[in-house]
Chain A
C-alpha cells in the first residue's frame, strides 16, 4: 500500500472556485483511485489530495467478449482491440474473453492527474493557452508522488516572494514541507488561525460574512490590527463597515479599529499601508458625505424630479407621490408620511452613487442629521427590508408601512410595464418584493388591502403564499378566491381551513361542491329566492339557516376571526345533507325547480365567502 500526493498548482483561484474544488475532490478521488482521500487541502494556489493506503497495482480484470458461438464472426475484432491473438482468448461461462492484467499505480497516476483536472466542474472558467483545458485560473504546475517516487512534475512552490521552488521528499511529508515554505495548506487550520488572531484582538465582527472568502485569499494568514483617524467616525457606520469589509475584506473591531488578514509581509509596513488605504477610502467617502450633508435631505428630496425611477414610470419625485398615497391607504400616520416624502431623497445623494448597496441607510442618516424624529429615519432605514428570504422585517410600524408601500409601487409599476418575472429572469427582484409583502402581511401583521395591488400583481403576490405557508397549496388556492379584503387574511384563512379537523371540514366541502356542481350544471335558476315556493321542511330550514349564517360568516371574515367563520359555515353541513336526501331539486314544476337551484347558488355563494373550496381535493 502506498501514500499518494497529487498537487495542482494554480495562479490565485477565486474563493468560490476553491470551495467548488473542495466539494468535488473527495468524490473524484474515490472514483479515480478507488480510495477515500485522507486530506483535501486547498489554498488559493493549490488543490491537493493526500491519499493513504492506495493499492500499488490496479486489480486484474476479466474483459468479457463475444459468446463462444460467435467466435467466427466477432473474435478477431475483439482480440485485436485488446492486443492479443485470437488463439490467446480464454473461454469462461460460454463467453470468450481476455484477462487484462492490472496496471502499476505509477503508470496510471498521471492519467488520474489529468482526470482530476478535467473532472472538476467550475461555474466560471477560462482558457490561457492552446491546450484546450478550461480552469478557473491558469494551472502552472502539477506534482504527483507515490511515497517518495515522483510520478508527475519536479517539485512544488512555497509562498510567493518568500519561498521559491521546493523539493518534496515524500508524499507523507507534504504538510510539514509546505509549512516550512510559509504555506498553511489546510483551509480549516487557516480559518482557525484567523479566528484566533481576531479573538486575540477582541470585539471583531463580520457583518457581511467575508471570513469564508478571506480563508481562500491567503496562504499564510497574519492578522494585523489597524486604526483610522477618529474624525472619520462622523460617517454613517454602515459606510465605514462597507469600506472595511467590502473594499479590503477586513473586520471591524469597533470605534476606529479594524483587523486585516495579511498574506505575510512585514507587519509594520503592511499596517501602515492598509491604514493609508482605509483612510484614503474614508476620506473619499467623507468628501462626498460632507457635500451631501451641506445640501441636506430636504433639498436632496427636491431634486428627485430630475432622476428617472423607471423608464415609463416617471421620476423618483413621481414615485414619492405614489408612495405617500399608498402609505395613507395603508393607514400610515404622520411619521410614515414624512418618511415617504424623504424615502428616496438619498437617490439624489453622491454617497449612494458610490455605495449603492447603502440606499436607505444613507437617507436615514441624513434625516437624523436634519433632526427628523427617530420614527421617520428608522422607517427610511428599513424601507428595503426584508431583503432576503430569511432577512428580518422592519422593526418599526412606520418602517413596515413604508416598506409595503415601496414594494406595492414597484410591483404595480413593473407589471404595468410588462416586466413580469419569468422562470429564470427576475432582474428587478420582483419575486423578492412579493415575498416581502406576504411576510409583512403575515409575520408583520400589517393590514394590506388587496385592492391596492393591480389584479395581476395581487395574483402574483398571493401565489407566493403557496411556497411560504405550511398549509398545502390547494388550501392557499382556495383561500385566494375568498371574499376577504386583506392580504394577510388570505394566508390566515388558508391556515384555518387547513387546520380544521377532517370531520368538521368534510360537510362544508361536500356541501359546497354538491351545491355548486348541481347549480352550475342545471340552467334556469330563479333571479331571487321566492319563499312562497318552498315546500319541504328541509328547504325551509336550510333557507332559515342560510339567512342566519351568511351575515355571521361575512362578519367573522371582516373581523379576521377565521375560526368562527369556518365554524358558522360548518352549521350548514347537516342541513344540506338532509336537503339532498329529502328534496328533489330537479322538480317537475319549473318554478319550484328554478327556486331550488337559486337556493343552491345561494348556498354556494355563502360558503364561497371562505374561498373556492372545490380547489381542495378530497
Chain B
C-alpha cells in the first residue's frame, strides 16, 4: 500500500520524505508539511510520506480494535493545489485497487482546525462506502498567517484503508506482512503505552518538560534559530498531550496550555516567514 502510494505520488513529482524524529499528533506537524507550506519563498512543493501519529488520549490498552495511541498516516502535500487535484487523488485510490465505479465514493464537508498550531483549512472527509479513508484539506492559515499559495493536503488513514482493501473487521487482524498481523506487531505495545500514558507518566516531570521546551523554544527564537525552535514547539505540544492523557489538565488549564503552544507556533511562524534569505534549509 505504502509502496503503491510512494510510486504513484513519486511519479507526480512528490519528494518522498521519511517520518519525523519526534512525537507528532498529525503528519501536518512534520516540517515537510508545516514549514514548507508556510514558506513564502517556496512557490512549489510536493511531498508524500508516512507519519506515525502519537495520540496518547486515543490509546485503549490494545483491547479496542479501532482505537490506538499510535497509528499511521500517509500524508501528501501539493503546493499549489493543482486544478485537477481531486482527480489525481481519486486516481490514487484506483491505483490502490479501489473500483471507483462500484463503490460509493464521495466528499463530505469536514473543516479542519488545529488550535495549537493556529491553523485551519476547509475540505472534506472522503467516504468510501461511508468509511472515512482520507482527510482532504485546502490549508488557509498556518501559525496564524494567511497563506499566499494554497496547498492541498491529503491524509490517508492507512489502517482504515487497509481494513477496506482487505475486507477485515478489526485492525488487529489486518495483514501487516504475509503471515504477520497488525496485532502481532503492535498490540502489546499499545497495552504498555496506554498504561504509561494514562497511569504511569510522571505528571510533575511532564509539567517541567513543558515549561522547559517552551523556554528553550523562546530562547531559540530570540537567537533567530527557527528550525530548532520548531522542534521545541512540537515537544511542548506532545508534553501537553501527555498531561491531558494523565487527566492532569482541567478545562480552563487546557485553554491556557493550548494558548501557550499557539503563541509559540505563531511567533515561530512570524520569524520563519519574516526571516527570508539567510535561513538554513
Contact = CB atoms under 8 A, between A and B. Distances in A.
A235 interface: no
A265 interface: yes
Nearest to A291: B63
B260 interface: no
Nearest to A353: B57
A613 B81 CA distance: 68
Question: Chain B: interface residue count, which band?
Answer: 35 or more
B140 A127 contact: yes
Contacts of A11: 86, 107
A263 B83 contact: no
B81 to A, nearest CB: 6
A274 B130 contact: yes
A249 B150 CA distance: 30
Interface string A1-28: 0000000000110110000000000000
Question: Chain B interface secondary structure, helix, strand, loop or mixed?
Answer: loop
Contacts of A274: 129-130
A312 B101 CA distance: 56
A129 B65 CA distance: 41
Interface residues of A, number: 49
A217 B100 CA distance: 17
A310 interface: yes
A286 to B, nearest CB: 10
Interface string A112-143: 00000000000010111110000011101000
A126 B170 CA distance: 37
Contacts of A162: 101
B104 A310 contact: no
A308 B250 CA distance: 6
Given A270-B103, A274-B130, A306-B247, A161 B253 contact: no
Given A287-B64, A308-B251, A264 B104 contact: yes
A129 B107 CA distance: 20
A384 interface: no
Contacts of B64: 284, 287-288
A128 B250 contact: no
A408 to B, nearest CB: 21
Contacts of A250: 130
Nearest to B86: A11
Contact of A12 (B100, B106, B167): B106
Contacts of A248: 130
A220 B106 CA distance: 12
A214 B108 CA distance: 10
A56 B131 CA distance: 50
A105 to B, nearest CB: 29
A44 B107 CA distance: 9
B124 to A, nearest CB: 6
Interface string A259-299: 01011111001101110111110011001100000000000
A218 interface: yes
B183 interface: no
A84 to B, nearest CB: 42
B103 A265 contact: yes
Given A248-B130, A265-B129, A284 B66 contact: yes
Contact of A217 (B108, B111, B252): B108
A175 B98 CA distance: 31
Contacts of A128: 81, 138, 150
Nearest to B101: A161
A127 B150 contact: yes
Interface string A582-606: 0000000000000000000000000
Contact of B80 (A126, A129, A137, A269): A129
A608 to B, nearest CB: 43
Interface string B68-102: 00000000000011010010001000000001111
A225 to B, nearest CB: 14
Contacts of A262: 104
A312 B250 CA distance: 10
B130 A161 contact: no
Interface in B238-265: 247, 250-253
A277 B150 contact: no
B251 A273 contact: no
Contacts of B253: 311
Contacts of B167: 276
Contacts of A311: 250-253
Contacts of A272: 129
Interface in B124-180: 124, 128-131, 138, 140, 148-150, 163-164, 167, 169-170
Contacts of B122: 124, 126, 136-137
A417 to B, nearest CB: 10
A266 B98 CA distance: 13
Given A265-B129, A273-B128, A306-B247, A126 B102 contact: no
B67 interface: yes
Given A217-B108, A273-B130, A284-B67, A129 B102 contact: no
B105 interface: yes
Contact of A263 (B104, B140, B170): B104
Contacts of B107: 11-12, 44
Nearest to A13: B109
Given A128-B150, A273-B128, A274-B129, A161 B100 contact: yes
Contacts of B129: 265, 269-270, 272-274, 276-277
A217 to B, nearest CB: 6
Nearest to B256: A311
A269 B103 contact: yes
Contacts of A264: 104
A160 B126 CA distance: 14
A278 B66 CA distance: 13
Contacts of A308: 250-251
A280 B102 contact: no
A140 B128 contact: no
Among the interface residues B104, B107, B163, which one has the most CB atoms of the partner chain A within 10 A?
B104
B215 to A, nearest CB: 25
Nearest to A45: B107
A130 B79 CA distance: 12
A129 B104 contact: no
Nearest to A140: B83
A156 to B, nearest CB: 16
A265 B104 contact: yes
Nearest to A287: B64
B106 to A, nearest CB: 5
Contacts of B138: 126, 128, 138
26 contacts: A11-B86, A15-B109, A126-B121, A126-B140, A160-B100, A161-B100, A161-B105, A217-B106, A218-B106, A249-B108, A263-B106, A265-B101, A265-B102, A265-B103, A265-B129, A266-B101, A266-B102, A269-B99, A273-B128, A273-B129, A279-B169, A280-B163, A280-B169, A283-B169, A283-B170, A284-B67
Interface of A: 11-12, 14-15, 44, 124, 126-130, 136-138, 140, 160-162, 217-218, 247-250, 260, 262-266, 269-270, 272-274, 276-280, 283-284, 287-288, 306, 308, 310-312
The 10 closest A-B pairs by CB, nearest first: A273-B129, A311-B252, A265-B104, A14-B109, A12-B107, A308-B250, A262-B104, A248-B130, A266-B102, A161-B100
Given A269-B102, A274-B129, A287-B63, 8 more contacts: A129-B80, A129-B81, A247-B130, A266-B101, A273-B103, A276-B167, A283-B66, A287-B66
